[in-house]
């Protein structure tokens, strides 16, 4: 009886013989066991040889796919790392901006995060639109451009109040400049011209807006914004305008804080009420400046309309410091600075801005108390003791100057 194994072997031998010679017969019974095993071995070898290419191809494909997967995973890891790094850096930038903004309110709508506030529907107060490294902690110029161009396309004017920095007017739809120095009061006439410019722009079209900025977008910006709030009739009281600006622009309700800047807002309000806005500046004579509560070794500088008139050292009179003058005539905006000066440097102690149109000559002594003086932080520690007394005279009475000085009135 032919066993199953014999049948399988026969099939194998038939396959082998058919490969070698189709006409040759290979009956199972004519083959010896040794021959059968040899041919079976050959069959197995042939089968393994035919399988090698497919296995190699499979292995190569697997290796290729594994390598591709590794590359994709590495790329994904790089993207994840970059995304994490970018997110971390963006978060750090936002934190820095928040710290620089301090108590100022920020605009956080529609993906924007800007040091910017709508004071009214058409008046915006904001920080300087910066470029390069400064954009890390201030308003980035591209973001400000995107904000204004998307929310107020072809309907906005940007007003730069900085004397220390500018940018190309092509950066925005419309640009105007009213420059004055940081921590200083603006020239009175500049406030008038500013308000007229803003009012002309805003009333020309109901869609028009104005974006006003200095460096930080608080002090200088606040002075001019408050003046326009008074000019436009939104407020009739300088105190109310200042309070409103502080409430809307800051978290702590401290908008305009420098005494001389506050004084000029009061001047502007008074001029509007009494129709003195276009009145020529009167001329007065500065007779003397007396300081109380200020240490010796100080100097004084008197500046009138950007022109320095005098710089001199102190005269000591008893326990006070007295600066006496001859033929110092003032007209318009005046700055008086008190400072210490060495060979290599000077340090400001205090200063005060005033305008001759708002100085009372009856009495002829103008007293600036501590809270009305712009003081350094060091001076503020003893601020309750500090006072500056200015003695004026009308120009027509200059011959009586010596009597005024001797009487101290």
Q: Which domain holds residue 340?
A: 283-407
Boundary-marking domain end, from 239, 273, 307: 273
Q: Which residues of 165-177 are buried (b: 16+ CB within 10 A; e: fewer)?
A: eebeeeebbebbe
Cα(349)–Cα(341) distance, rounded to whole angstroms?
10
Does 23 score more than 70 pLDDT?
Answer: no
Catalytic residue among 195, 214, 226, 227: 214
- Residue 298: give its domain's CATH number: 2.60.40.1110
Are 143 and 264 in the same domain?
A: yes
Cα(106)–Cα(248) distance, rounded to whole angstroms?
11
Cα(299)–Cα(393) distance, rounded to whole angstroms?
22
CA of residue 208 relative to chain centroid, distance: 23
The answer to whether position 298 is within a domain reads yes
The answer to whether position 214 is within a domain reads yes
Are 307 and 398 in the same domain?
A: yes
Cα(44)–Cα(314) distance, rounded to whole angstroms?
118
Task: Name the more confident of 303 and 93.
Answer: 303
Are 248 and 296 in the same domain?
A: no
The answer to whether position 107 is within a domain reads no
Q: Express each pLDDT in 130-152 by its tens digit.
A: 888 787 878 999 999 999 999 99
User: What percent of the chain clears pLDDT 90, i.e. is strictly above it?
Assistant: 51
Are 342 and 300 in the same domain?
A: yes
Boundary-marking domain end, from 273, 304, 328: 273
Reported residue count of the chain is 409
- Residue 75 is predicted with a pLDDT of 74
Residue listed under structure tokens 């008046």: 123
The answer to whether position 109 is within a domain reads no
Q: Express each pLDDT in 326-358 by its tens digit.
A: 999 999 999 999 988 877 888 888 999 999 999
Are 164 and 82 in the same domain?
A: no
The answer to whether position 197 is within a domain reads yes
Are 142 and 231 in the same domain?
A: yes
Rounded to an integer, the average pLDDT of 105-133 is 89
Does 367 score more than 90 pLDDT?
Answer: yes
The answer to whether position 356 is within a domain reads yes
Cα(260)–Cα(265) distance, rounded to whole angstroms?
9
- Give the DSSP H/E element, type plus range, for residue 81: helix 33-101
Are 369 and 394 in the same domain?
A: yes
Boundary-marking domain end, from 73, 100, 127: 100
Contact residues for 176 (Cβ-Cβ < 8 A; gap 6+): 157, 158, 159, 160, 197
Q: Are strands 209-213 and 156-162 parallel, antiparallel or unpaired?
A: parallel
- Residue 257: give its domain's CATH number: 3.90.190.10
Are 316 and 352 in the same domain?
A: yes
Rounded to an integer, the average pLDDT of 13-31 is 48
Spatial contact of 348 and 270, defined as CB atoms under 8 Å apart: no
Are 10 and 90 in the same domain?
A: yes
Are 344 and 291 in the same domain?
A: yes
Does residue 404 carry a catalytic annotation?
no
| Total domains present in the chain | 3
HEC string of 114-157 equals ECEEECCCCEEEECCEECHHHHHCCEEHHHHHHHHHHHCCCCEE
Among 198-202, 228-232, 321-325, which stretch is predicted with the lowest mean pLDDT?
A: 321-325
Which residue intervals of 205-318 are DSSP H helices? 219-231, 238-249, 259-273
Are 24 and 52 in the same domain?
A: yes
The answer to whether position 327 is within a domain reads yes
Rg of the chain's alpha carbons, rounded to an integer? Answer: 44
The answer to whether position 362 is within a domain reads yes
Q: Which residues of 294-316 are buried (b: 16+ CB within 10 A; e: fewer)?
A: beeebbbbbbbeeeebeeeebee
Are 93 and 66 in the same domain?
A: yes
- Residue 50 is predicted with a pLDDT of 54
The pTM score is 0.73
**Within 13 Å, how many C-alpha atoms sit on residue 64's CB side?**
6
Task: Name the more confident of 104 and 349.
Answer: 349
């Amino acid at each position: 009886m032919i066993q199953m194994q014999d049948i399988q072997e026969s099939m194998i031998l038939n396959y082998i013989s058919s490969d070698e010679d189709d006409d040759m017969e290979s009956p199972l019974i004519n083959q010896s066991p040794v021959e059968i095993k040899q041919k079976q071995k050959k069959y197995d070898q042939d089968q393994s040889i035919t399988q090698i290419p497919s296995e190699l191809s499979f292995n190569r494909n697997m290796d290729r796919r594994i390598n591709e997967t590794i590359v994709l995973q590495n790329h994904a890891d790089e993207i994840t790392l970059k995304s994490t790094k970018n997110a971390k850096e963006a978060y750090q930038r936002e934190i820095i901006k928040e710290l620089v903004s301090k108590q100022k309110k920020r605009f956080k709508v529609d993906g924007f995060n800007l040091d910017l506030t709508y004071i009214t529907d058409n008046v915006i107060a904001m920080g300087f639109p910066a470029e390069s490294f400064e954009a890390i902690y201030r308003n980035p110029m591209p973001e400000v451009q995107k904000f204004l161009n998307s929310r107020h396309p072809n309907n906005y004017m940007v007003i730069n109040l900085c004397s220390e920095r500018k940018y190309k007017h092509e950066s925005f739809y419309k640009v105007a400049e009213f420059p004055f120095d940081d921590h200083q009061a603006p020239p009175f006439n500049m406030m008038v011209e500013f308000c007229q410019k803003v009012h002309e722009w805003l009333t020309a079209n109901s869609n028009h807006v104005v974006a006003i900025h200095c460096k930080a977008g608080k002090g200088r910006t606040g002075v001019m914004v408050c003046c326009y709030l008074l000019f436009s009739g939104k407020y009739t009281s300088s105190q109310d305008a200042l309070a409103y600006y502080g409430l809307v622009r800051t978290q702590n309700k401290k908008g305009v804080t420098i005494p001389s800047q506050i004084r000029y807002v009061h001047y502007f309000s008074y001029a509007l009420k009494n129709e003195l806005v276009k009145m020529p500046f009167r001329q007065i004579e500065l007779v003397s400046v007396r300081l109380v509560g200020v240490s010796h070794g100080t100097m004084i500088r008197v500046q009138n309309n950007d022109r320095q008139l005098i710089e001199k050292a102190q005269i000591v009179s008893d326990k006070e410091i007295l600066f006496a003058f001859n033929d110092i005539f003032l007209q318009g905006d005046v700055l008086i600075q008190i400072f210490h000066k060495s060979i290599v440097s000077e340090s400001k102690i205090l200063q005060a801005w005033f305008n001759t149109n708002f100085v009372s000559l009856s009495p002829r002594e103008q007293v600036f108390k501590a809270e009305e003086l712009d003081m350094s932080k060091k001076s503020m520690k003893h601020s309750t003791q500090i006072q500056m007394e200015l003695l004026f005279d009308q120009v027509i009475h200059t011959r009586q100057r010596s009597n005024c000085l001797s009487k101290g009135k």
